[in-house]
Every structure is written in structure tokens, then in C-alpha cells.
Amino acid sequence: MKILTSERVRLVPLSEVHESEFVRLANIPEINRRVNKPPFYSQAHFSELLSHPQHAKTRLIWMIEQNARVVGAINTAASGRDGRMFQGGYWIDPAFWGQGIASAALLLVKTHLLEERGAERVQALVEPDNGASIRVLEKCGYEREGLLRKFYPSVDRGLIDVFMYASIA
Ligand SMILES: CC(C)(COP(=O)(O)OP(=O)(O)OC[C@H]1O[C@@H](n2cnc3c(N)ncnc32)[C@H](O)[C@@H]1OP(=O)(O)O)[C@@H](O)C(=O)NCCC(=O)NCCS
């Protein structure tokens, strides 16, 4: 897994050194409620994430840095038999919302997956009332494919409706 950079952001592969920042971000209420993390995300959850066999095999997680400061995280995971389809998510510290950071990060990851990892489809699920995330996906060239009803198993609200967005090679 490599560092991805653009003029706006630097994406650094997740490692032990990111524990406190990752845990801090995952517990910010505006992030926690959207990204399906346990209501209290602990250091044990973080260790479990890093040591999970899936982590090395199919998951790619980067911390997003702007001016050498961690401002968010972005992840994706390969699914399907031959790893040509990826699904992911992202979150940004609310103090940095509205500066184009998520869009810059997603564009980097999408390009990396399509051009360097042989992806043929990159997809994302988003709640219909998450206007900012929908805008990020559309700015990055993802297209809405439909509404999946009671599709996503949320941590605390049962099965929820989500839009499927995708970008195809
Ligand atoms: C979604 C999120 C990652 C966006 O991060 P960000 O760095 O602010 O995103 P960007 O600045 O790149 O783009 C946000 C866009 O949404 C727009 N926007 C913000 N709130 C909006 C709303 N309620 N409805 C519609 N558009 C909205 C912004 O104006 C901007 O568009 P513009 O560049 O055309 O002006 C951030 O809000 C977040 O972390 N939310 C909590 C976690 C989350 O929802 N993750 C996604 C799960 S699918």
C-alpha cells in the first residue's frame, strides 16, 4: 500500500501511529452516526481493525493529511472473487468541512483503484439525507444507480435505506 498525494491532500496508509487520531475522529458525533462505528469507538476497536486478517488482505485505509495534519480518513475494500470491485467510505473532521478535502481524497483513491489496482467498479453507499457526501460522490464522477431499501445494517437503527453510487472503468 502506498502514500497517495495531490496538491490538496496526502493519504498515508493507516498504522499504529494513527491510533489516537483515528479513535478521536471515530468518536466525533457527526462522524460516528454516519459511518456505522460503535457508539463508543475504543482503542480496542482500533487494534482489532489493524489486526483483522481482512485488513492486510482486502482492506485499504488511509489517513488524510492536509499541511502535515491529520484531518480525516478514507477506506476501501475489495469485494468479489477477483478483486475488481471496491466499496468504501470517508470522513473528515468537522473543523475542516467544506474545503474540498473529501473530494480530493476520494478522487485520489478512485484513480488509484482504477488505474493501478485493476478495479472495474468502485462503489459507495450513502444515506439519502447525507447531502454533503452525495455531492462528494457526484463531484468525483460517481453515478447514482438506485435506492436500496432496508439494505444497510446500521449499528443502531436496524436496516436503513441507502443510495448506491458507482463509477465504472
Ligand atoms: C461527507 C463529508 C466527508 C464531506 O467532507 P468535505 O471535506 O466537507 O467535502 P468537500 O468539501 O469535498 O465537498 C462537500 C460538498 O458538499 C456540499 N454540501 C455540504 N453540505 C451539503 C448539504 N447538506 N447538501 C448538499 N450539499 C452539501 C458542499 O457545498 C460541497 O460541495 P461544493 O464543493 O460544490 O460546494 C463530511 O461531511 C463528513 O465527514 N461527514 C460525516 C461522515 C460521512 O457522512 N461520511 C460519508 C458516509 S457515506
What range does the domain containing 85 cover?
A: 4-119
From 7, 110, 135, mutation site for ligand 1 pocket: most ligand atoms within 8 A of C-beta? 135
- Is 169 part of any domain? no
Q: Measured between alpha carbons, how far is residue 77 from residues 30, 86, 131 in Å?
A: 23, 5, 23
Q: Closest Cα to atom 18, ligand 1: which residue? A: 132
pLDDT value of residue 20: 96
Whether residue 129 lies inside any domain: the answer is no
- The number of the ligand 1 atom at minimal distance from the alpha carbon of 125 is 48
* pLDDT, mean of residues 130-147: 98
Ligand 1, pocket residues at CB < 6 Å: 30-31, 34-35, 89-92, 97-103, 126, 130-133, 135-136
Q: Which residues neighbour 54 within 8 Å (Cβ) at sequence distance 6 or greater? A: 77
What number of other Cβ atoms are within 10 A of residue 125's Cβ?
Answer: 18
Residue 74 in any domain: the answer is yes
In a domain? residue 11: yes
Q: Which pLDDT does position 145 carry in this prediction?
A: 98
Q: Does residue 83 carry a pLDDT above 80?
A: yes
Tell me: pLDDT of 54 over 90. Answer: no
What is the arrangement of strands in the sheet containing 59-66, beginning at the earlier edge strand? 4-5, 10-13, 59-66, 69-79, 85-92, 121-126, 159-168, 143-153
Tell me if 152 is assigned to some domain.
Answer: no
What percent of the chain lies above the pLDDT cut of 70? 100
Q: How far apart are the CA of 78 and the centre of ligand 1, in A?
A: 24
| Residue 31 domain flag | yes
Q: What is the pTM assigned to this prediction?
A: 0.95
Statement: residue 55 has pLDDT above 80? no
| Domains: count for the chain | 1
Q: 102-128: per-residue pLDDT in tens?
A: 999 999 999 999 999 999 999 999 999
Q: What CATH code is carried by the domain that includes residue 19?
A: 3.40.630.30
- Residues 45-63 have a mean pLDDT of 87
Taking alpha carbons only, the member of 80, 63, 72 closest to residue 133 is 72
Residue 48, domain member (yes or no): yes
Q: What is the pLDDT of residue 11?
A: 98
- pLDDT at residue 9, as a whole number: 98
CB 137 within 8 Å of CB 122: no
Structural domain contains residue 151: no
